[in-house]
Every structure is written in C-alpha cells, then in structure tokens.
Structure 1
Amino acid sequence: MSTNLVVNMASESDVSVQGHGVHTAYVELATALERRPDVTLIRGHYSERVECDVYHLHTLGTKVWRKILDPGAKKVVSAHVIPDSLVGSIRLARWWRPAARAYMRWFYGRADKVLAVSATVARALEDELKLPGERIEVLYNTIDMDAYRTTEVDRAAARAELELDEETFVVVGVGQVQPRKRVDLFARMAREHPEVLFIWVGGIPFKHLGADYAAMKRLMSEVPDNLVITDVVPHPQVKTILQAADVFCLPAEQENHPMCILEAAGVGLPIVARDLREYDDSFGEDILRCEDEDFGAAIARLRFDDAEREKWREASVRIRERFDSAAAAERLVGIYRELVGSETAEVG
C-alpha cells in the first residue's frame, strides 16, 4: 500500500445547484484533505471512473454511478440525505418516498463505508435502510473554524459592507426556503419584533421542484418590512452576513447536522434552534433549543440580556472546538487507510 492515498472526492453539486449544505460540507472536507501531504485529492470527474484508492461520494445521482459501481477502488459515501430529509424539501416527496428509500438502500449498499453525519442518520441507515451496522460510522460535518473566527473589526467591516448601523439588532437564518425550514415562523418572529432586523439567506435553488413552491413564493412576497429574504448568494457573502449578525436562528423541523449552525458557531454567534432529537449527540445544550412558542421570547432575552447573550456565545465556542475540519480529515484518512489496508491484506 502506498503511503500516499489517492482519493477521488465528488459531489454533483459541483455541476448543479450549490446553494445548500451538502455542497458546503463537500468543499470544506475536500479543502481540509488537500492540505495534507499524505493525500492526493482529485475532485469531480463526473460520469467517469478514476484511477484511485478510494472514491468518496457526497451525492447519490447518476453522474457518480460509474464510481459507485467501479470494482477497482474502495467506496465511501457521506450520508447527508435520508428519506426523512425529502419530506418538506422536494415536491410530492411523500408520494415517491418509497422509491427514494429503495434507491438510497441500493446506493448506500454499494459503499464499503457509509459516513453518517449524525447519530440520527446512522440509526436511519441501519433501521430503515437496513445497512449492516459495521459498515456505518458517524463522522459529523465540520468546517475550517479559523476561517470563520470573527473579531470586532471584522464585525464592523461586515456591517459597513451591508450598510447596517451599530444599533440595529440583527437575527440571521440560513437555508433553502422550504416548508421544513419553517421560514413562516421566522417571518412571525419578525412581525413580533418590528424593531429587529431579520435576514433569511437562502432562496429556492430548485425552483418548481421545491416543496410547496407557490406557497413559499407567496410567503417571500408577503414578509414584513424588517425581514429580508435573499436569493441564493455566494458563500463568502453568507459569511459576511453572519459576521454582521447578533444572533443566529434556525427553526427548521428536520435537520441532520446543518452546516449553517457550524458556520454561525465559527463566527461566535448565540444559536437558537428547534429542540430536535438530531441535535442531542452533536450540539447538545450548546444551542438554545426551542419549540414554536419559545422562539420569540428567546430572541427577546438575547437582545436585552447581555449576560444571556454572552452565555450562548461561550456555548458556540464549545461547538467550534468540537467541529473543526482538520480533526475530521485526520480521522477520515484513518478510515480510508483501514479500508485500503483490508483490501491489501485480502490480496496478500
């Protein structure tokens, strides 16, 4: 076995829509691996096989079939999507969920190792998709936290770029405008707090394929004056908006391990999110977890109580320490080597 691993990492978001967390997760992990001297990383090369030790796939579409079916290399798949992820995201998902479940079982079943982005995803892979437990491993999404570290100077520059004065209290949410993200609740908070500026970064990147497209477009057109909903924006601009914010809020009803929470933690924002089981093993008590009726009061506390705001900023520091991409890349290389080493042992 060569000391240098050749890895072909691919996410079809490279050649399609990029305004979502899967693409960010792929870019962050690929970048972390590219910094390592013991890995040669080849990105992309869609609809073709690549001479490599390991394929690492982040999406499940037809453009990576040549890779998942290639007997010449080990296959690793990051499971960002499970059947529950589709409901409230894609149009008519409830009707074709059985077919999606069967397809996911087939695709994930071709992998030598499936990396679940949370314990909830790992349970779904084993219980619903019937994958063998020994082929599943939890590897949380991570980011380069140093790239998001924000000083007061950075914050002031971001506010100046966005033409925000220092007195404006800013709450930011990030995600596609779709029913499961509960942008309607974000809009309700804006109506309850007219003196606060709310910014939702996302848009509807999949257009008419998005769940309840007409209703979501109507929601976007009827928001109060203190709520701005962007279209899909370049990733550096997302970082700027986060740096200008006072609080991050994600009221989504279904998530696995959202990149936007990691990015907000990297910036050092207090994080308000729905009380989801999916967060138990990842963010735990380091995010302010709410039900529908609690979000507005949580925003008010963070706005008026400096000690409360500082408490949740410190909690975000703990998230930042746990989910840095350099540590994830180290562990991932170990997984690769174990797979390639087992193949070498079998040949020998």
Structure 2
Amino acid sequence: MASESDISVQGHGVHTAYIELADALERRDDITLVRGRYRSRVECDVYHLHTIGAAMWRKLRDPRAKKVVSAHVIPDSLVGSIRLARHWRPVARRYMQWFYTRADKVLAVSSTVARALEDELKVPKDRIEVLHNTIDMQAYRTTPRDRAAARQRLQLAQDAFVVVGVGQVQPRKRVDVFHELARQQPGTVFIWVGGIPFKHLGAEHGSMRRLVERAPDNLLVTGVLPHPQVKTYLQAADVFCLPAEQENHPMCILEAAGVGLPIVARDLPEYDDTFGDDLLRCADDTFAAAISLLRADRCERARWRQRSARIANRFDSSAAAERLVGIYRDLASPSRTTGPSPVAAERRPSSPDEH
C-alpha cells in the first residue's frame, strides 16, 4: 500500500485515509502489508495505491501483481484547490483517465466519485466499487476528562464555546465563510486547523494568505499540523464546522464524528448517501444561525451529538478492512491470474534496486 504523501505533503485528507486504512489492515493476522517502497517494485499479490503521481507509475505498470487504486481525486476536486486549475483541468482529466483505467479495481470514496469515474473518466463500470473512507473510531472516542485535558494543553478556557474547522486554507474549503462567522460572533472561539501546504501552487494563494492575516481576534488559523495535534483540537471543541463547497467523503467529518461533536456542514449532494440528515446541513446564510442554535441550546447539542454517533457507527475502519481483504482475495485468486500467486510461491530474494 502506498501514498506519495509519505514522501511529500501530509496536511490533507488523502494521507489520513491512507494511514487509517493501513493501520486497520496491520491489525489483522490474515494479511501482510508492505508500506511505501516508492522507488521499486514489491513482491506482492496486490498493489493498493492512494495517489496518482509519477512515483506510482512503476507499480501501476508492474504485470506481476493486481492493482487497486483508491480514487480520492477527480477533476472537480482540483478546482478551488490548485492554482489555475480551471485552465489545466482538461489535461488533468486525460491524465486521471490514463491512470485509473489501468487499475484492476478502482475504489471510489463516494457515489459521486463513482459516477465521475464512469461517466467522465471512462473507467469500466465493472472495475468500480464504492468504498467510503473510514477511521478507527475507538481511537477518537473522547471523555469529558479528555476534553478538559485538550483545552488545558491548548490554553483554551474551560467555559469557552469553541468551533473548529479542519482543512487546507483554499477557496474550495470556504474558509472565508468561517472567517465571517468569527467576525459575526465575537463571543465564540473559532479555530481553523490547517494551512496552505502547497504554498504558491495553492489556488488564490495571495487572497488566502491575506484572509489569514486579517483574521479577527477570536479566530485562530493554526497552519499545517501533525495529525495527532489535529485530534487534540477536535477534542477541545464544542462544534465542528466545515463550509467547504466541494467534498467527496471528508476524513475530518469522520474524525469529528468519532470525537462526538455536533457537525455543521454545507448542504452538498455528495453527502446524501453517506451522512444524510446526521449533519446539520447549511447554506452560506444559515451557518451563523446553526452555530448560534448549538451554542444556546444544550439539548440541541446533545441531539446532534447523537446524530454524529450514527456516522461513527457507519464508518469504522475495521469493517472497511474486512471488505477490502475480500476485494484483494478476489483479485489475487488463481482464477483471476495467469500464473501462481506471488505469496503462494516461494519468495525470491530481493534485488538491490528494491530497497
């Protein structure tokens, strides 16, 4: 299993999805997982790739093993994320089509992604399967003592009302909406956990940087943080808010659900078959009312925490790992291959270029 985020930028959801799934597989005793090895082929039954950059080409074209690719990115994901994406979107579409159509199985992280794979990127329908991102929910479970400790660590008042958002600082995430919420509600603490990891390659880099620099006193933008610190901010929060206008199946919503936070998010069709009515779904002009309601009404907070628990139950990584091992076994079975399984045969010694 490989994700180029191991050797590049890690402040995004694809890296989290890769780590969560790899950890879940490593907890099993019926599969051996090799991570990374980016400059070499690996003796294995299946390559599972989470990113689509050049470091994956050798694995993608290795005829000795089946290829599974998790489709975290489609052409629409780039608009509002990377500078000038609208201009080179056609090139990106052709490249994605080239990459995804060479996989034996493409795992779409949502039904929206599955439709884009089939309709726009021309991946054969029988190679596409929806496998939503998941996390180890037990690792995020938060007690009142955990919450108090997180606030102490972050130097937040125990009685403060804290709203947290997570994601890269980019137009697609609509950090401007979060900024405006903080300006409108000075008695609430707002924290955006994230930064601009791709720097000048990020969409509207200058305006995003100015947005951070002009943040009101009650808004903290942390910059890119190691993942364990992101969890600490979630544990310290009262509410999670994600106003992003394009998402597939965001890891940060799963993490907030694992912590047990009420979740306020934009009303996107991508959420219909995943989160449904378990999110408090808003438009630009209703986010402020939703935050105010949750701050004022303890019963409403409790009700939306119960909705978050339903998300947590649906998207635990142990179930995803079980299903994924079934996909691997089906692909690697003798009836699907032209030769003996590399794992069933005696392994040859590694050559020097494999290290």
TM-score range, shorter chain: over 0.9
Q: Which residue of 1 aligns with 2:320?
A: 328
What is the Cα deviation at residue 342 of structure 1?
A: 5.5
AA aligned opposite 1:135: R
AA aligned opposite 2:7: V
Q: Which residue of 2 aligns with 1:172?
A: 164
Is 1:67 the counterpart of 2:59? The answer is: yes
- Structure 1: segments with no counterpart, 5+ residues: 1-8
Aligned pair partner of 2:77 in 60, 76, 85: 85
Is 1:297 the counterpart of 2:289? The answer is: yes
Aligned pair partner of 1:133 in 117, 125, 128: 125
What is the Cα deviation at residue 307 of structure 1?
A: 1.1
SS of the counterpart of 1:255?
Answer: coil
Map 1:1-348 → 2, pairs under 5 A: 9-341=1-333, 343-344=335-336, 347=339
Q: Following the alignment from structure 1 to structure 2, what is the Cα–Cα distance between the partners of residues 223 and 336? A: 47
- Structure 2: segments with no counterpart, 5+ residues: 341-355
AA aligned opposite 1:85: S
Q: Following the alignment from structure 1 to structure 2, what is the Cα–Cα distance between the partners of residues 90 and 164? A: 33
SS of the counterpart of 1:167?
Answer: coil
Asked if 1 retains the 8 angstrom alpha-carbon contact of 2:330 and 2:336, the reply is: no
TM-score computed with the length of structure 2 as normaliser: 0.95
Q: Which residue of 2 aligns with 1:4?
A: none
Cα–Cα, structure 1 residues 343 and 76, in superposed 2: closer, same or farther, change >3 Å? Answer: farther
Pairwise CA RMSD:
1.0
Asked if 2 retains the 8 angstrom alpha-carbon contact of 1:47 and 1:65, the reply is: no
Asked if 2 retains the 8 angstrom alpha-carbon contact of 1:181 and 1:253, the reply is: yes
Asked if 2 retains the 8 angstrom alpha-carbon contact of 1:48 and 1:64, the reply is: no
What is the Cα deviation at residue 28 of structure 1?
A: 0.3
Q: Following the alignment from structure 1 to structure 2, what is the Cα–Cα distance between the partners of residues 149 and 345? A: 42
Structure 1 runs of 4+ off > 3 angstroms?
342-348
Give the count of matched residue pairs: 340
AA aligned opposite 2:169: V
Q: Following the alignment from structure 2 to structure 1, what is the Cα–Cα distance between the partners of residues 6 and 90? A: 27
SS of the counterpart of 1:164?
Answer: coil
Q: Following the alignment from structure 1 to structure 2, what is the Cα–Cα distance between the partners of residues 149 and 230? A: 23
Q: Following the alignment from structure 1 to structure 2, what is the Cα–Cα distance between the partners of residues 112 and 342? A: 15
CA offset digits 1:301-342 (Å, max 9, x no partner): 000011111110000000000000010000000000111116
Q: Following the alignment from structure 1 to structure 2, what is the Cα–Cα distance between the partners of residues 345 and 201? A: 45
Which sits farther off after the overlay, 334-343 or 154-163? 334-343
AA aligned opposite 1:338: D
Identity of aligned residues (%): 74
CA offset digits 1:91-123 (Å, max 9, x no partner): 000000000000000000110000000000000
